[in-house]
Amino acid sequence: MTKKTSNTMWGGRFAAGPDAIMEAINASIGFDQRMASQDIEGSRAHAAMLAATGIITDSDAEAIREGLLTVLSEIEGGTFQFSTALEDIHMNVESRLKEIIGEPAGRLHTGRSRNDQVATDFKLWVRDQFDAAEAGLIALIQALLGQAEAGADWVMPGFTHLQTAQPVTWGHHMMAYVEMFGRDLSRVRDARKCMNESPLGAAALAGTSFPIDRHMTAEALGFDRPSANSLDAVSDRDFALDFLSVASITAMHLSRFAEELVIWSSAQFRFVTLSDRFSTGSSIMPQKKNPDAAELIRAKVGRIYGANTGLMMVMKGLPLAYSKDMQEDKEQVFDAADSWMLAMAAMEGMVKDMTANRDSLKAAAGSGFSTATDLADWLVRVLGMPFRDAHHVTGTLVALAENKDCDLPDLTLEDMKSAHEHITAEVFDVLGVQNSVDSRMSYGGTAPAQVRIQVRRWKDILK
Ligand code: ARG
């Protein structure tokens, strides 16, 4: 049996190499290669700073910076040989750099450690994902605004307890989701602002005795400032948890909308027709058109919450500063990010492509005594009744309509007068669903005019 040699990157004190199982549990290269470009970006900034501060020579820094670009092109071109023995992306890159440029490569790791390096790489990666999430949310909001504008005055039933409550407008319903995704957008922007501090130069945990310039690397990498405590810098994964918690809330919003689309596209509801591009057929039932994309979006929440809970458990109870536990941060975040971006893109596509079935919406809007509240309000407004009494009178009329198997607008004036003698024919004006929604003019209400105000407000916000 050939004895494995110790690791060339850190094996000075080791006589033998690791056990194969140790290598398998220890290595992160299988997944952290996704941070290759961030790793190289960070190292290039670090090398430039080492030269600017006179810690290494300009020519060494130049060789390092050029060599790193060669490594990047090998990785991007798919010719790079990743090695599990070299554990992670940091050592794979540095080892290859050594093969390409020789001795100067060994000077790159001056004044830093893999602990600040991995925190920096991961932050840069997560920051890119925050930017992608921002773009995805804006695109989704724009798709919803398109639907809201087109259908600002299309009536549909509004529900509470999934029971018909009052008529609302299609535009209003779409705008409810615009508000939700708008809050998600704020959360994304806040979290990105909060996380934008550079861990680079915190070194292993205590900082370094080399005269490094952390402000310079922070600026080169687009951070607002260097993080102010080296222990915190290498042991902080709040940025990943912020990412996952914003992702979780957004995914929850996506799942609610996805659930509505599943219900709405059913034969029983027929509120919307999803486009063929976002549906599938059944292999056995020829009549079926399934809302698979919506169902999958609804389900993606599970993985995203799982990642959020998982990383919280990894971080819980960890003493300062870096512990290898923290290597378990990445796969969950990668998976959650992929799921989140895909779910948003699929939802945007579905929203753009779906058709509201205006006739079904309108018919459903008028059923279930949905204008009962309008009747009660009329009794208050026109007859000056206290609302509680009006509620009671309306209740009697709903019972009467139920008995006659008709809807409120189908009752006769005599029926109305049987409940309260002062009711006049004017009452029928408020019983139509269109009248009902038109009258809901309170700020943020469902009236088409209010919906259009909100659509305009959001268009201005997104400008
Ligand atoms: N692969 C490691 C990680 O992802 C990099 C940091 C390793 N640091 C160390 N001291 N072993 O966390």
How many angstroms separate the CA atoms of 427 and 375, rounded? 7
Residue type for position 123: K
How many angstroms separate the CA atoms of 258 and 296, rounded? 8
Q: Catalytic residue among 73, 266, 282, 323, which?
A: 282
**Residue 280, SS3 per DSSP:** strand
Ligand 1 center from residue 53 Cα (angstroms): 26
267: CB partners within 8 A, 6+ apart: none
Q: Catalytic residue among 161, 209, 283, 442, which?
A: 161
pLDDT digits (tens, 9 = 90+) for 23-47: 999 999 999 999 999 999 999 999 9
Cβ of residue 88 lying under 6 Å from some atom of ligand 1: yes
How many angstroms separate the CA atoms of 159 and 168, rounded? 9
Residue 161 falls in the annotated catalytic set: yes
The ligand 1 atom nearest the CA atom of 330: 4
3-state helix, strand, coil in the chain (%, to 5): 65, 5, 30
How many angstroms separate the CA atoms of 336 and 419, rounded? 58
Ligand 1 center from residue 90 Cα (angstroms): 9
Q: What DSSP letter does each residue of 426-461 carry, written as one string?
A: GGHHHHSHHHHHHH--STT-S-HHHHHHHHHHHHHH
Cβ of residue 326 lying under 6 Å from some atom of ligand 1: yes
pLDDT band for position 4 (cuts 50, 70, 90): low
- Nearest one of 184, 217, 180, 187 to 199, comparing CA atoms: 217
The answer to whether the CB of 194 falls within 8 A of the CB of 187 is no
The answer to whether the CB of 45 falls within 8 A of the CB of 222 is no
For atom 11 of ligand 1, the residue with the nearest CA is 324
Token pair belonging to 8: 């060339």
Span 193-218, average pLDDT: 98
What does the pLDDT read at residue 371?
87
In this prediction, what percent of the chain has a pLDDT beyond 70? 99
**Residue 18, SS3 per DSSP:** coil
Ligand 1 center from residue 118 Cα (angstroms): 7
Strands (E), 265-348: 272-273
Cβ of residue 92 lying under 6 Å from some atom of ligand 1: no
Q: 86 or 14: whose pLDDT is higher? A: 86
Q: What is the mean pLDDT of the chain?
A: 95
Cβ of residue 118 lying under 6 Å from some atom of ligand 1: yes
pLDDT digits (tens, 9 = 90+) for 137-187: 999 999 999 999 999 999 999 999 999 989 999 999 999 999 999 999 999
C-alpha distance from residue 50 to each of 54, 109, 111, 219, 275 (Å): 6, 10, 8, 14, 56
What does the pLDDT read at residue 415?
95
Cβ of residue 115 lying under 6 Å from some atom of ligand 1: yes
Model pTM score: 0.92
The ligand 1 atom nearest the CA atom of 28: 1
How many angstroms separate the CA atoms of 182 and 140, rounded? 10
What does the pLDDT read at residue 286?
72
- Torsion angle, alpha carbons of 373, 375, 381, 382, to 10: 180
Ligand 1 center from residue 114 Cα (angstroms): 6
pLDDT digits (tens, 9 = 90+) for 115-137: 999 999 999 999 999 999 999 99
Whether residue 3 is predicted with pLDDT greater than 60 in this model: the reply is: no
The ligand 1 atom nearest the CA atom of 324: 12
Positive or negative torsion for Cα 48, 50, 51, 53: positive
What does the pLDDT read at residue 1?
41
Name residue, tokens 């920096």.
Answer: 120
Ligand 1 center from residue 113 Cα (angstroms): 9
Q: Where are the alpha helices (DSSP H) in 196-291?
A: 214-220, 230-235, 238-264
For atom 2 of ligand 1, the residue with the nearest CA is 327
How many angstroms separate the CA atoms of 420 and 389, rounded? 11
Q: What DSSP letter does each residue of 351-394 carry, written as one string?
A: HHH-EE-HHHHHHHHHSSSTTHHHHHHHHHHHH---HHHHHHHH
How many angstroms separate the CA atoms of 405 and 188, rounded? 51
**Crossing angle between the packed helical segments 36-52 and 89-101, to the nearest 10 degrees:** 60
How many angstroms separate the CA atoms of 274 and 277, rounded? 8
Q: What DSSP letter does each residue of 260-277 carry, written as one string?
A: HHHHHTSTTT--EE--GG
How many angstroms separate the CA atoms of 281 and 209, rounded? 65
pLDDT digits (tens, 9 = 90+) for 273-307: 998 888 887 777 777 788 999 999 999 999 999 99
Name residue, tokens 């009006």.
Answer: 390
Span 194-202, average pLDDT: 98
**Crossing angle between the packed helical segments 114-150 and 330-353, to the nearest 10 degrees:** 10
**Crossing angle between the packed helical segments 36-52 and 114-150, to the nearest 10 degrees:** 130
C-alpha distance from residue 241 to each of 296, 336, 347, 348 (Å): 23, 11, 24, 25
Buried b (16+ CB within 10 A) or exposed e, 378-404: bbeeeeebeeeebbebbeebbebbeee
The answer to whether the CB of 204 falls within 8 A of the CB of 143 is no
